[in-house]
Amino acid sequence: MPSYIEMPKLSDTMTEGTVVKWRKAVGDAITLGDVVAEVETDKAVMELEAFGEGALAEIYVQEGQKARIGEKLAMLAAPGEAADPAGERLIHGQAPADSAPADAKSPAAVGSPEPRPDPEPARTGAGPVTGTAAPARIKASPLARKLAAARGLDLAGLTGSGPGGRIIARDIESYSEPAPQAATPSGAAPISVPAISPHDRRVSLSGMRKIIADRLVASKTQIPHFYLHLEADVAELTRLRAQANTAMEKAGGGRLSINDFVLRAAVLAATRVPRANASFAGDAIIEHAEVHLAVAVAIEEGLVTPVIRQAQNKTLRQISEAVKDLAARARAKRLKPDEYQGGTLTVTNLGAYGVESFSAIINPPQAIILSIGAITKRPVVNRAGEIVAGERMSIGLSADHRVVDGAIGAEYLAQLREFLENPTLLLL
């Protein structure tokens, strides 16, 4: 009979723990009291001691993954164990030579496709499976499989909302980015966990923070980012905006912000450089026919990027109104899913905080994100070669190199600058 290492209850309030590090590898002999792993509870990182003996035959919960109390983390095979041929092969050299014919096989046979006991059945009933390292069968409905195939999505990266975590059509339909890898790739060491003193405050991740964390890690680690910066002369833009706002105030309309102009310019530039308004789809690049502009909005819990749909058909005024509405509802958490999904490019603006220049992380599956800085007054050399006081805005572009090459990114920025420096074009 194999025995199992289970997630112990290491503190009163603990309901689940994260395996931070495995100190033992598959095949290692374990004796009573050996520290086999490090486990993070809600309070601290603690050492996990073995309560059984044997050889570590299989690890179910990989480093970085969570497991509920009582959930099996790994299997120990007793020496001489015949119940689990896979285990025996894995612990080659330890099993008595007379136990099973499989022993004759060399260690290279580890990956042989012979049937072996599936660890899954033993784990059912141990609560929701939070992470499983075994290459488990992906539960997905036939329709979901077809929809995923049609979109070139990998089911392995998706979480299912159907019964028992089954991936159903809705999960594919509501999915809007290329599948991020679900777990830390095996072998990659997780970033070390901070030491926690009693005075520190531990803030559990909200659903939104968790999604931000997952998506941005996926973006930054999987998308080859490159960054371009340029400065635009926005003296004319600020003048025009002041003029427009005076006129609009008289007419009783809302005021236009600098950002409204930037958004409109970003959309128009995208229509001129459609190759930047694109997404990476695994085996293809999708150039989007329409510009769905995502705008980063900071809210209390984190940030959301509501989407102005078909922004290419919207006037400056309509964009301005759309952003005001979306931002207000984003802060009130009243956005519908289709209002923050399906963007084709994103604009994030930290100008209001005085940030002059920065580079943003791409919002997958989009290919570019614009990072807009504050307008600053600074000496510039004009066309006549004189040093004058100018108004400049720094614009950053982060691009997915799989989709957009440097030249296209540069062309897009140049178009954007063209619009910002000739802002009357934005009023058309």
Partner 1 sequence: MPKEPTKPYDLIVIGGGPAGYVGAIRAAQLGKKVACVEKERAGGTCLNWGCIPTKALLRNAELFSFMKHQAGEFGFSFDNLSYDWGRIVRRSREVADKNASGIEFLFKKHGIAYIRGEAAVERAGVVSVKAGDQAETLEGWNILVCTGVVSRPMPGLPFNGTTIIGSREAMVLEQQPESMIIVGAGAIGIEFAYFFNAFGTKVTVVEMQSHLLPLEDAEVSQNLERAFRKQGIRFLTDTKVVRAETEDGGVRIAAHNHKHELLEAKVCLIAIGVQPLLPGGAPLKLTERGYIETDDRYQTSIPGIYAAGDIIGPPWLAHVASYQAIQAVEGMFTDHQPRRITNFPSCTYCNPQVASVGLTEQLARERGLKYRVGKFPFTASGKARAVGEVDGFVKLLFGEPHGELIGAHIIGPEATEMIAELGLAITLEATYEEIEATIHAHPTLSEAVHEATGQAFGEAIHI
Q: Which residues bind partner 1 (CB under 8 A)?
A: 141-144, 146-147, 150, 168-169
Is the CB of residue 178 less than 8 Å from the CB of residue 365? yes
Burial class (CB in 10 A: 0-12, 13-18, 19+), 357: middle
Q: Is 92 noted as a catalytic residue in this protein?
A: no
**Residue closer to partner 1, measured from CB, 101 or 142:** 142
- What is the rounded distance in angstroms from the CA atom of residue 425 to the CA atom of residue 243? 15
**Residue closer to partner 1, measured from CB, 101 or 207:** 207
In the structure encoding, which two tokens stand for residue 369, read together? Answer: 């994100």
Shortest Cβ 411–partner 1 spacing (Å): 37
Shortest Cβ 49–partner 1 spacing (Å): 30
**Residue closer to partner 1, measured from CB, 139 or 272:** 139
Candidates 288, 307, 311, 260; CA nearest to 403 is 288
Shortest Cβ 375–partner 1 spacing (Å): 46
Shortest Cβ 163–partner 1 spacing (Å): 8
> 290-300: string of b/e by CB count within 10 Å (b at 16+)?
ebbbbbbbeee
- What is the rounded distance in angstroms from the CA atom of residue 82 to the CA atom of residue 264? 69
**Residue closer to partner 1, measured from CB, 81 or 171:** 171
| Cα first-last separation, the chain | 77
Concatenating the DSSP letter of every residue in 82-129 gives -S-HHHHHHTTTTS-TTS-GGGGS-GGGGG-------SHHHHTTSSS-
- What is the rounded distance in angstroms from the CA atom of residue 170 to the CA atom of residue 158? 11
**Residue closer to partner 1, measured from CB, 141 or 318:** 141
Shortest Cβ 335–partner 1 spacing (Å): 18
User: Which residues, 6 or more positions from 311, have their beta carbon under 8 angstroms from its beta carbon?
Assistant: 263, 267, 291, 292, 293, 319, 322
DSSP H stretches of helix in 251-391 = 258-272, 316-331
In the structure encoding, which two tokens stand for residue 207, read together? Answer: 């659903």
Please tell me which residue in 92, 225, 229, 401 is annotated as part of the active site: 401
**Residue closer to partner 1, measured from CB, 150 or 387:** 150
Shortest Cβ 140–partner 1 spacing (Å): 9
Considering Cα of 197, then 200, then 204, then 208, what sign does the dihedral take?
Answer: negative
Shortest Cβ 19–partner 1 spacing (Å): 22
Q: Which residues pair with 29 in a beta bridge?
A: 55
Packing angle, helices 406-421 and 235-250, rounded to 10: 50
* 307-308 sheet: strands from edge to edge: 225-233, 387-400, 368-381, 345-349, 293-295, 307-308
**Residue closer to partner 1, measured from CB, 113 or 142:** 142
Q: Which residues are catalytic?
A: 401
